[in-house]
Structure 1
Amino acid sequence: MGLASRLAVAHLECRGINPGPLLKQAGLSATALTDHNRISVMGQIDFLGLVSRAVADDWIGLTLAADFDLREMGMLYYVAASSHRLGDALQRLERYARLGNEALVMRIKKGPVCRVELSYTGVPRHLDRHQMECLALTFLRLCRQLVGQKVMPVSASFIHHRSGDLRAMKRHFGEGVEFDASADEICLDTALLDVVLVDEDPFLSDLMLKSCEEAIAGRLSNASPFRTLVENTIAPLLPHGEVGGKTVARRLGLSDRTFSRRLKAEGLTFAEILNDLRRDLAVRHLEQRTLPVSQIAWLLGFHGPSAFSHACRRWTGKSPIKYRRDSPTGLAMPV
C-alpha cells in the first residue's frame, strides 16, 4: 500500500529535499503514492535505501516507523484494534498482513513465548534492511497501542547484518536483539495474548472482518517465483556455513531429486543462484565502509578473505578494497 514510501516522501519534504528524482530512480510514481494506489514492493525497498543515503540516516526504517499515526495502516489497523484480545488481533494480522504488503508473510508460533515471524514471498529478502525494520517496529508499536502498555519483546532477530552502534535498535526492541539470524522474528511474553484490547469493538470487528475477507479474496495470489524462494532460504544460512543444495531442499520440504527437477524446469542451477546472491550481497556490504572485508567474507559464507577476494575479482574485475575505493557512493553495481 506504499505507507513506508509515503512516510519517506514526507520525511524528505520536511528536510527540503525533492523526492521526485529518488522516486523515479526507484521506479515509483508520485501520483500512485498520492492516490494511495498499490506500488511495487521492490520499488519501495529500493526507495527506502535511496532515502537513507539522501538524509544520511542508516536507521531510516526505524525513523519512519517511530511516530506516525498507526491509523494510516488503514483496514489492518482497524481489524486488529477492534479485536477482543491481543491474541485475536495477532491471528487477524497473520491472515491479513498481505493486504498492506503483498510480499509479507506473518506467522504466529505459540509456546513458552509467542514467536511472531515475518518473511517475504516473491521478493528477495537479502536486498532489504530498512523495510523489514520499519515493519517490525510498526508491529511492535501496534501491540503497545492495542494493549495500552509499554510492551518490550523477550527477544528480536533479523536476517540482515548490522554492526557498530545498535542503540537505536535497542531503544525500541530492548537488549535481546540479534542480527545475522536465521529468521526475522519478534518474541513476546505469551501472557500478553490474553490481554483485552483498549479499543475492543465487536460491531466494528464484524464489519472489518467482512471487508478484509472480501479484499483478500480479490487481491491476493499465492504464487511466488521459485528462484526467490530459494534465495530467501539461502540468505540466512550463509553466515552459518550451512549452505548446500541438500540443506536448502530439506528446508523447502523437498527431496534432493525434486529440488533439482524444479531448478532444471526453470533453467536454473543451485550454484548460479548462490553465486548471484553472494554477488548482490557483496555489493551491499561493501557499501558499508566500516564493515571489514574479513567480516563480509564470513557473512557471505566464504572460508576466508582470500576466497572472497577471488570471487569479487571474478564479479567486478577488482579486489574488494579496490572496488570499495573506486565506488565513491559504494553503490555502483558490478559489470
Structure 2
Amino acid sequence: MDFVNASIYLKAKYLAIKEGMPPLQFFKKHSTVNPTYLPIDFLFEIYEWARDNLSPGFSVRQGEQLNSEDYGTLGLSWKTSWQAKDILERLQRYMVLVTDQGTIQLLEKNTHSQLFLHRPPRRKGIEMANEVSFVMLTGVLQEVTGQKIQPNQVTFQHSESSSQKALEEFFQCPVEFGASQNMLRFRTELLEIRTIKADKSIHRFLLDRLEEEKKGIFSQSDHLLMDIRQLITEVLPSGIPSIIEIADQLNMSARTLKRRLAEKELTFRNQVQLIQQETAQDLLLNSPLSIAEIAFQTGFSEQSAFNRAFKRWTQLSPLEYRKTQ
C-alpha cells in the first residue's frame, strides 16, 4: 500500500470542504485514517474531486498552505539546515517519510540546479499531487530563507492542467506540460542562500532522528521487498542476479515472485536497476572507491557498461555526478 503523510491529506480535505466539498463526501471510505500515515489513494481522491468540482488552481492553494511544520522532523531539519540547497537534499534522502510513492533527484550542472520528481502521472490525482509538491517546495525554500527563491523553469509530464494560469502566476515563469520529466530548475546561486535559523548542532541531532524514523518506516513496510533488496544488494558484487536465484533464496518459484511483484506494479528488473542506481550514487558521494571499483560493486563487469547505465539513470556521467554533488 502506498502511503502519504496524514497532515497533507487533512489540509487538502479541510481546504476542499471550505471551498464547497460536502463534509461527508468521503467519510465512510476514508474512516480508517492513521494518525501519521494513510493510503495515498485517499489524497488522490480528494484532489480529483477538487479538480472536477472546485475552481481552478486548487493545487496552488493546497501547496501554498503547506509549510515546514507539516513535515515533522523533516520539516525541522529544513529550518535548521545551512542553506536552501540542503532542503532539497534532505527531501531527496528522506522522501519516504512523506510518501513512499515517487522519488526526488537533485542534479547540479554549470550554473543551474534541476530537481526531478520521478512520479509518473498515471491518474489525475497524481497530476495534481505533482503540482502541489512543486508549489510546496518553492514555498518552503522561501519560508526558511526569507528570500524570494523562484525557479526559472517548471515542467510537468501530464499534458494539461486547469491550474496552469495559477501555477504560472505562482512560479512567475512559463510552465510546460507534456514534458519528458517533472522538473524544477533554479539558478544554483539561489540555492546557496543561507537559511534564517541555521543551526549545525541541532541539525546534526535531527539528521540522526531522521535516520531512525526512516528505519522505522522500512521496518513497517513490505518485508518481501526488504528481503529482495537485501539479497540483490548482497550478490551484486558477484554480478546481476536472476529472478530464479533470488526466488530460490526466498523459498518460492520465480513465477510466484514475479506475480507478487506485479501485484505491487513492480518488476524484478526495475528493482535490480533501482538498487544499482542507489548503490552507485551512494558510493560515488560517500566512498573513495574508483569508478571502476564502483562499477564492480554494482554488478557491472565493464566500466563502460556502468558509465552508459549511469548516464541513462541520471543524465550525468559518474565522474560528472561525483564532481557536481
Residue in 2 aligned with 1:200? 198
Q: In structure 2, what is the Cα distance between the partners aligned to 1:106 and 1:203?
A: 26
Alpha-carbon displacement from aligned partner over 1:54-89 (angstroms, at most 9, x marks no partner): 4x2343221111234431222221111111122223
Residue in 2 aligned with 1:174? 172
Q: In structure 1, what is the Cα distance between the partners aligned to 2:71 and 2:198?
A: 17
- Alignment CA distance shift 1:193-1:165 (3 Å): closer
Q: In structure 1, what is the Cα distance between the partners aligned to 2:222 and 2:93?
A: 13
Q: Is the 8 A contact 2:154 2:175 kept in 1?
A: yes
Q: Is the 8 A contact 1:155 1:174 kept in 2?
A: no
Q: Gapped runs of 5+ residues in structure 2?
A: 226-253, 260-264, 266-325
Residue in 1 aligned with 2:144? 146
Q: In structure 1, what is the Cα distance between the partners aligned to 2:161 and 2:92?
A: 30
Following superposition of structure 1 onto structure 2, how do residues 263-274 of structure 1 map, counting pairs within 5 Å? 266=258
Residue in 2 aligned with 1:46? 45
Residue in 1 aligned with 2:121? 125
Identity %: 19
For 1:104, give the aligned amino acid.
G
Q: Is the 8 A contact 2:56 2:162 kept in 1?
A: no
Q: In structure 2, what is the Cα distance between the partners aligned to 1:181 and 1:46?
A: 24
Q: In structure 2, what is the Cα distance between the partners aligned to 1:224 and 1:189?
A: 41
1:80 equivalent in alignment to 2:78: yes
Deviation at 1:176? 2.7
- Alignment CA distance shift 1:43-1:68 (3 Å): closer
Deviation at 1:166? 2.7
Deviation at 1:51? 3.0
- The normalised TM-score by structure 2 is 0.62
Q: In structure 2, what is the Cα distance between the partners aligned to 1:158 and 1:59?
A: 15
Alpha-carbon displacement from aligned partner over 1:111-152 (angstroms, at most 9, x marks no partner): 1210111123xxx63212111111110011011112211111
Task: Select the residue among 3, 20, 29 that pairs with 2:7.
Answer: 3
Q: In structure 1, what is the Cα distance between the partners aligned to 2:63 and 2:81?
A: 23
Q: Is the 8 A contact 2:67 2:140 kept in 1?
A: no
> Secondary structure of 2:26's match?
helix
Deviation at 1:264? 11
Q: Gapped runs of 5+ residues in structure 1?
A: 226-261, 268-272, 274-335
1:28 equivalent in alignment to 2:24: no
Task: Select the residue among 23, 28, 35 that pairs with 1:19.
Answer: 23
1:61 equivalent in alignment to 2:65: no
CA RMSD of aligned residues (A): 3.2
Following superposition of structure 1 onto structure 2, how do residues 92-107 of structure 1 map, counting pairs within 5 Å? 92-107=90-105
Q: In structure 1, what is the Cα distance between the partners aligned to 2:156 and 2:140?
A: 19
For 2:12, give the aligned amino acid.
A
- Alignment CA distance shift 1:153-1:206 (3 Å): same
Q: In structure 1, what is the Cα distance between the partners aligned to 2:186 and 2:103?
A: 18
Alpha-carbon displacement from aligned partner over 1:191-220 (angstroms, at most 9, x marks no partner): 123221111122321221111000111103
Residue in 1 aligned with 2:233? none
- The normalised TM-score by structure 1 is 0.60
Deviation at 1:163? 5.6
> Secondary structure of 1:20's match?
coil
Q: Quick check: 151-160 or 66-75, which moved more?
A: 66-75
Q: Is the 8 A contact 1:22 1:51 kept in 2?
A: no
For 2:89, give the aligned amino acid.
Q
Length, aligned pairs only: 228
For 2:52, give the aligned amino acid.
R
- Alignment CA distance shift 1:223-1:53 (3 Å): farther
> Secondary structure of 2:115's match?
strand
Residue in 2 aligned with 1:191? 189
- Alignment CA distance shift 1:133-1:3 (3 Å): farther
> Secondary structure of 1:126's match?
coil
Q: In structure 2, what is the Cα distance between the partners aligned to 1:3 and 1:199?
A: 23
